[in-house]
Amino acid sequence: MKKALILFVLLALFCPFSTAEEAVRETYVSGDYTYALLDDGTAEITGYSGSDAEPAVPSALDGFAVTAVGNDAFSWHRSLTRVTLPDSVTAIGDRAFFHCEGLTQFTIPDGVASVGDRAFSGCLGLTQIAIPDSVTAFGANPFEACGNLSGIAVSPDHPALASVGGVLFGKADQRLICYPCAFTASEYSIPPETRVIGDFAFCGCESLTQIAIPDGVTAIGNDAFYGCKGLTQIAIPGGVTAVGNGAFASCSGLTQVVIPDGVTAIGNDAFYSCESLAQITIPDSVASIGDFAFSRCGSLTQIAIPDSVTSIGANPFRGCDRLSGISVSPDHPALAVVDGVLFSKADQRLVCYPCTLIARDYSIPKGTQKIGDEAFYDCDRLKEITIPDGVISIGDEAFCFCSNLTQIALPDSVTSIGDGAFDCCTGLTQITVPGSVTFIGDEAFDCCFDLTVILTEPFSYAKQYCADNDVPYTYGGIVGWLFG
């Protein structure tokens, strides 16, 4: 057995329940395959490096039976046209064949018990696939973005799955798993027995203009309707309590959404880039609004946030270039609007400076402690911003694309500058960074072509950051006189 000097890091993003001990696994190389050993002594394929367009995966590697194809094992191998798995395989992992765009033939062996999230996502060559009765666990839409897949076959007596009119459902959780995006129908009524619209279930179904969701549905998954560009309106039933992350993102034709009382959470990017959405009412039941929830809703002009909202994420209205009014009540327990700018009271955070405001200069109110992620994103009218003492952090991309901003001075209270905080501030020539700063994120000053950082202390974190990242710097004040 040839041992490879490779460590496979399982990112928390993909394996949120892994323990610290599981976070790093030793992998081995056998021919064109890398693999890891499972607890039962069998092998899980973790990667393929070969050039064969039609590989036949061996039943054993170095004497270990192959029982699983791991997460991302064959992902992005666009030249693959056919992959044959041995009968010993019982599990196909998340994104195992992600964007194998040339894959035209694939047979899931009869012994496979589980198919992971988005296992065949982006396999544009697939037109038909059969799912054996052995499969009892099925992840989030394994066939998301399979633009030519028109046939998903399951037996009439399949214990875990059902195909109704070519649409795939999970019996145990009454979940709509996959509406094939190759279907050309303009209307679809979800069966009344459905309780869950799964993650990515309708992702990329551009031909649909109307979808009827039955009253029994209680959950709309992450990215459930992502990229349904033809969809013009939708009514969410009253039993739904949460709109998932990215649930209606990039539904560019969506003009009307009815969110019922009972919804308590609107997820991250839930309505991202719904460019035609001109009006939306947030009901009094909503307690949380996620990061960038209504970002790039270019037709949105007004929005009212009810008193029920106690948690608000990173700038929910980033890039809403017609939004002229954000309203909250004077007694709102968690939020405040001051001169049209939205603040979170709990963390004293500036959440959103609307990019439609026409002022050329702005003074952040005293008492503000945080400038939130992307708070001033694309505010290209602003030339001057005054940051008061007391601000301790500048969020990720906080001033990104503030292209007319020419200079800015950070107070001595600031300790952290986020990733891309001043990215693409192309007019920025000078920024004063105090010695109190102990963290500067990646690409904080990227594309600031004429920028010189003014340092207030000679041996600071900021100086080392500038030196390491080829950012021009000099010294200001008395420090400049001594060290300049």
In one-letter notation, the amino acid at residue 69 is: V
Task: Judge if 327 and 384 occupy the same domain.
Answer: no
What is the rounded average pLDDT of the residues 125-136? 96
Task: Judge if 387 and 445 occupy the same domain.
Answer: yes
Strands (E), 406-477: 407-409, 416-417, 430-433, 439-440, 452-455, 473-475
pLDDT bin (cut points 50, 70, 90) of residue 12 is very low
Asked, for residue 348, whether it belongs to a domain, the answer is: no
Task: Judge if 377 and 310 occupy the same domain.
Answer: no
pLDDT at 1 over 70: no
What is the spatial distance between Cα 203 and Cα 167, in angstroms, rounded to a whole number? Answer: 13
Task: Judge if 378 and 304 occupy the same domain.
Answer: no
Task: Judge if 222 and 365 occupy the same domain.
Answer: no
pLDDT at 16 over 60: no
pLDDT bin (cut points 50, 70, 90) of residue 38 is very high
On whether the CB atoms of residues 320 and 340 are closer than 8 A, the answer is: no
Query: Could you tell me the pTM of the whole model?
Result: 0.89
Asked, for residue 173, whether it belongs to a domain, the answer is: no
Asked, for residue 275, whether it belongs to a domain, the answer is: yes
Closest CA to 173 of 218, 127, 232: 218
Asked, for residue 349, whether it belongs to a domain, the answer is: no
pLDDT bin (cut points 50, 70, 90) of residue 14 is very low
Which residue range forms the structural domain that includes residue 440? 358-484
Confidence (pLDDT) at 24: 74
Confidence (pLDDT) at 480: 55
pLDDT at 412 over 80: yes
Sign of CA dihedral 474, 478, 483, 484: positive
H or E stretch including 393? strand 393-394
pLDDT bin (cut points 50, 70, 90) of residue 187 is very high
What is the rounded average pLDDT of the residues 320-340? 96
- Average of per-residue pLDDT values in the chain: 93
- Strand bridging mode 361-363 / 341-344: unpaired
Asked, for residue 421, whether it belongs to a domain, the answer is: yes
Task: Judge if 112 and 217 occupy the same domain.
Answer: no
pLDDT bin (cut points 50, 70, 90) of residue 9 is very low
What is the rounded average pLDDT of the residues 120-134? 96
The pLDDT tens digits of the residues spanning 302-327 come to 999 999 999 999 999 999 999 999 99
pLDDT at 455 over 80: yes
- Domain with 48 in it: what CATH number? 3.80.10.10
| Per-residue three-class SS string for 98-166 | CCCCCCCEECCCCCCCEECCCCCCCCCCCCEEECCCCCCEECCCCCCCCCCCCEEECCCCCCCEEEECC
Closest CA to 111 of 139, 83, 133: 133
pLDDT at 6 over 80: no
pLDDT at 18 over 50: no
Confidence (pLDDT) at 476: 83
Asked, for residue 416, whether it belongs to a domain, the answer is: yes
Task: Judge if 25 and 152 occupy the same domain.
Answer: yes
- Boundary of a domain, candidates 167, 198, 214: 167
Domains held by the chain: number: 3
Task: Judge if 387 and 322 occupy the same domain.
Answer: no
Sign of CA dihedral 50, 55, 61, 64: positive
In this structure, what DSSP letter does residue 279 have?
B
Q: Which two tokens stand for residue 48?
A: 């393929």
pLDDT at 478 over 70: no
pLDDT at 350 over 80: yes
Confidence (pLDDT) at 10: 29
Confidence (pLDDT) at 483: 57
Confidence (pLDDT) at 331: 96
% of the chain beyond a pLDDT of 90: 92
- Strand bridging mode 430-433 / 407-409: parallel
pLDDT bin (cut points 50, 70, 90) of residue 22 is very low
What is the spatial distance between Cα 66 and Cα 60, in angstroms, rounded to a whole number? Answer: 5
Task: Judge if 242 and 138 occupy the same domain.
Answer: no
Asked, for residue 148, whether it belongs to a domain, the answer is: yes
The pLDDT tens digits of the residues spanning 145-156 come to 999 999 999 999
On whether the CB atoms of residues 357 and 385 are closer than 8 A, the answer is: no
Confidence (pLDDT) at 479: 57
Task: Judge if 198 and 153 occupy the same domain.
Answer: no
What is the rounded average pLDDT of the residues 345-364? 97
What is the rounded average pLDDT of the residues 407-431? 97
Task: Judge if 122 and 194 occupy the same domain.
Answer: no
Task: Judge if 116 and 6 occupy the same domain.
Answer: yes
How many C-beta atoms lie closer than 10 Å to residue 441's C-beta? 17
What is the spatial distance between Cα 461 and Cα 466, in angstroms, rounded to a whole number? Answer: 9
The pLDDT tens digits of the residues spanning 219-269 come to 999 999 999 999 999 999 999 999 999 999 999 999 989 899 999 999 999
- Boundary of a domain, candidates 334, 367, 394: 334
- Boundary of a domain, candidates 334, 349, 376: 334
H or E stretch including 258? strand 256-258
